[in-house]
Chain A
Amino acid sequence: MSTVLEERPAAADAIQKFTATMMIRRFDPDVDTEPRWQEFSVEMLPTDRVLDALHQIKWEQDGSLTFRRSCAHGVCGSDAMRINGRNRLACKTLMKDLDISKPVYVEAIKGLPLEKDLVVDMEPFFASYREVQPFLQSSSKPEKERLQSAEQRARFDDTTKCILCAACTSSCPVFWTDGQYFGPAAIVNAHRFIFDSRDEASEVRLDILNDKEGVWRCRTTFNCTEACPRGIQVTQAIAEVKAAVLRGRP
């Protein structure tokens, strides 16, 4: 084991810093009429993420760069952005996994009103979310635990993982052209309760989603499933809700 200690300096040298070019789509509503691309150079370690590149720009080069982030560990869902044309979380995307020989393009997610740089107005997204009544509804008083079998819990396990980052909804071409569409995230969160054996309002939610702007707008593009940083099978969840609407029960 002693040899390991001796080798350590050599191993540390092996971690090479590299320079990456970041192309950020900037927009300042006070100055710009149109968004514009701005180039930055950043010094990165292979273990750095796109979020670290953004931090380096904001902290060392241009303090006016505006973006959301909170947890920096893929939990809070605040830093979904379009990186090289794909929706991802900046805090879960390693620089070394991108093609560094070319500039890395970073822009705000699409389909929601752009406010500044990488920040969009999330309100339309949350409005749809609220409309599906994403909370447990039960007539019995919560005096003791509401029991559920492991199988009943597994039925909706996948959709409990959503962090409301909007990567799915803002990757959906139907949502891009029709902002009235509920969008994949709202349907995922409806699915979470529709298939929960403890909930008593499934029919209400199925009725809400059996709307002109509900599940039938989905065209099975699979963009949402590809975008989801939590690996949720979004398109499958939507298909299950469609089938439940047709049955009239979960």
Chain B
Amino acid sequence: MTSSTIEAPRSPRPVARKRRVNWEKWGWLYMRGSGVLLIVLIAAHLFTNLIAGQGGVKAIDFAFVGGKWSNPFWKVWDTLLLWLALIHGSNGMRTIVNDYVSNPKVRKTMLIALLASSVVLLLLGTLVIYTFDPCPAGSLPSDLPSFCPAQ
């Protein structure tokens, strides 16, 4: 048998994979980096909220959050928690969407919705942390919580 009788491979090489900027490596690194930081951030968050403050989960109310956010330390802490966890969670959801959604149009729609909702939540959350005022001036005393001086 000469080589000319050997047929060409049944199927050609698959379409060449695109060589573009590759974010997957950075996404992978981010999931691990943020994961390690989240262990510390979440553990301390749970400890101060549930264990250190005696009252347990029942003690967490508007006043408790107001008290925590009067301290710049917890503002920064909660901002880090918000950004790291939300980006971590939405990047994880992106992975899952890529896993399960095979229809390209549905996939694109879901990824855009995911991105849009994450951006809105990040901005809104950050805005709340830094503009939070439990006793806004000029409010009706009946609208204010009991611990405000105007009450």
Binding site for B on A (CB under 8 A): 123-124, 127, 130-131, 174, 177-178, 180, 210-214, 216-217, 242, 245-246
Give Cα A180 to B18, complex, Å. Answer: 12
Checking A123, A130, A178, A212 against B24 with a beta-carbon cut-off of 8 angstroms, the contacting residue is A212
Q: Which residue of the partner chain B has the closest CB to A245?
A: B25
Bitwise interface map of B from 88 to 105 toward A, beta carbon under 8 Å scored 1, else 0: 000000000011101000
Give Cα A131 to B12, complex, Å. Answer: 12
Inter-chain contact A210/B22, CB cutoff 8 Å: yes
Given the interface contacts A174-B99, A178-B98, A178-B99, does A246 sit within 8 Å of B13 by beta carbon?
no
Q: Does B54 reach chain A (CB closer than 8 Å)?
A: no
CB neighbours (8 Å) of A214 from chain B are 24
Q: Within the complex, what minimum Cβ distance (angstroms) separates B29 from chain A?
A: 8
Give Cα A213 to B22, complex, Å. Answer: 10
Binding site for A on B (CB under 8 A): 10-11, 13-14, 17-19, 22, 24-25, 27-29, 98-100, 102
Q: Which residue of the partner chain B has the closest CB to A217?
A: B24
Given the interface contacts A216-B25, A245-B25, does A177 sit within 8 Å of B99 by beta carbon?
yes
Most A C-beta atoms less than 10 A away, residue of B27, B99, B102? B99
Inter-chain contact B98/A246, CB cutoff 8 Å: no
Inter-chain contact A213/B10, CB cutoff 8 Å: no
Inter-chain contact A123/B11, CB cutoff 8 Å: yes
CB neighbours (8 Å) of A242 from chain B are 28
19 CB < 8 A contacts A-B: A123-B10, A123-B11, A127-B13, A130-B13, A131-B13, A174-B99, A177-B100, A178-B98, A178-B99, A210-B24, A211-B17, A211-B22, A212-B22, A212-B24, A216-B24, A216-B25, A217-B24, A246-B25, A246-B29
CB neighbours (8 Å) of B22 from chain A are 210-212
CB neighbours (8 Å) of B100 from chain A are 177
CB neighbours (8 Å) of B11 from chain A are 123, 127
CB neighbours (8 Å) of B18 from chain A are 212
CB neighbours (8 Å) of A212 from chain B are 17-18, 22, 24
Checking A213, A217, A245, A246 against B17 with a beta-carbon cut-off of 8 angstroms, the contacting residue is A213
